[in-house]
A and B are shown apart, each in its own frame.
Chain A
């Protein structure tokens, strides 16, 4: 009797197309939001914020962004790291050039700049598909990292070649720079995650989302129902870039505070976010969160359990992490392309009918 659909009928089309058509799901969603906004900020400490919560929230945004492009629109990208770097550097340049404007605005604008850049790199997608498109985004990844290293204007000619986030406040509260409190970092990221998730959900449930999925499933049929493939693909690149840019800007300004581009936004980042999307579930907003949670939590768990608990050497625990993550990716790719989100859906379907499965 925990999870019931019976007696829970949709009586109108808006009801039928809501995000959580089953009441129980809706209540759980409000409960999670309430805990996230009203409870966690009072208890979060530095360790939890920096090791788990803040990276989880930021990677969730990046995963939503990549999921729009790859999961919904079917365009594989290996450029996520480089695109996050665009967001980070755009944010840095804006923060230093216009210190009087709120950093929240800068983060949004960084998303906009990244959207434009990613759209540019999306142009070849009209001609090339699949593997070849992936390779072209890989080229974008290397080009962007190289550019941010080579052109001193991007790092304001600093001696180290690194960029550091100046201290900025929102409503008198420090949100960037070394003096930032754990809860403030968490709150800023939470606000952006909520914002991005709502936008993504809205776009994917209406005509824009259907255009993307049509292109993903069969581009010829998409054209025959009136979808302009160029516009559909480029809009997916733009929206994806917007989210990934916000993630990059947060990663730099709120989370790390100072970065070196090769280290922070190298090719490993691209793969990490792609793995989050695959494990979490292609074409699912919830899956983006699940995948990010899984790959952020797994190493922390293994470290605490194996290194802290059983006294294993650190590198052994790390190798185990690679083995588990790699194995799961292969399993999900072969057996369940819709990832954790699909497992969750199937479990719910079973639960709905339990205890009378027929």
Chain B
């Protein structure tokens, strides 16, 4: 399978896939008696779109939570950009250049769209509280620089018109887009998307797919995404990890995975939600 071939190739559409960005080694995660992840290993290559699929409860979200530091696995190792990663707190993971969205939208409901996206820049904003108090000078300059970066993302995701709208007033599909904007504002090296298209209508799904592909090709951002819709996964991803009951049952290109008998039995054969 192609996950053994370690990177450095150019895809048919001309994107560069590089070396290994992140490697999960024998990850086991238990909640009391429940084994959410059982001895899972896979890697994410620089510049690729990596999908994680599997039925509900398979452990996909748990996997992302391990990567972003919410869950600490009982066994196994995370190797990030060549070196083993100690167990980090989620905010420390963010400072390493890993951003994410959540399965259930996690926006700041009391703030406007613009402020939400601006929060995505917090890892880049370093002026201390005393400069902030004075504002004129350092703090103001930093605010403007970051505002400019954020406006680019806002244009990119076509949410200019709702810039000043309180997030709580937005419909579901737009909220998902704003959450993506906030994650992109951090200019991450690795972007984790937990079911970015769940609950969307066809049109919204198409928009979102387009944005994900554009992010990957224009910014070169490495993306790991969880998705239910097989069609979407086939279109979007370079390689797919298939999970079931906390185990990895398949790994490879969409075509390889589609033809894997175990995967067909466990996942494609059964109807899901």
Contacts and interface: CB of A to CB of B under 8 A. Distances in A.
A208 B127 CA distance: 9
B102 A226 contact: no
Contacts of A357: none
Interface stretch (B50-58, B134-142, B206-214, B222-230): B134-142
Given A17-B143, A283-B110, A229 B91 contact: yes
Interface in B114-159: 115, 118-123, 125, 127, 129, 132-135, 139-140, 142-144, 147-148, 151
B89 interface: yes
B106 interface: yes
Nearest to B145: A13
A146 B226 CA distance: 56
Contacts of B123: 225-226
A214 B135 contact: no
Contacts of A228: 89, 91
A268 interface: no
A218 B129 contact: no
Interface stretch (A32-40, A75-83, A198-206, A300-308): A198-206
B107 A226 contact: no
Contacts of B120: 225
A223 interface: yes
A207 B185 CA distance: 14
A295 to B, nearest CB: 24
B91 A207 contact: no
Contact of A224 (B90, B109, B133, B144): B90
A229 B91 CA distance: 8
The 5 closest A-B pairs by CB, nearest first: A226-B94, A217-B108, A221-B106, A202-B135, A226-B123
Interface of B: 68, 70, 89-91, 94-95, 99-100, 102, 106-111, 115, 118-123, 125, 127, 129, 132-135, 139-140, 142-144, 147-148, 151, 182, 186
21 contacts: A14-B144, A17-B143, A199-B133, A202-B132, A202-B135, A205-B135, A205-B143, A206-B127, A206-B132, A206-B139, A207-B122, A207-B125, A217-B107, A218-B109, A221-B107, A223-B89, A223-B91, A224-B91, A226-B95, A226-B122, A235-B129
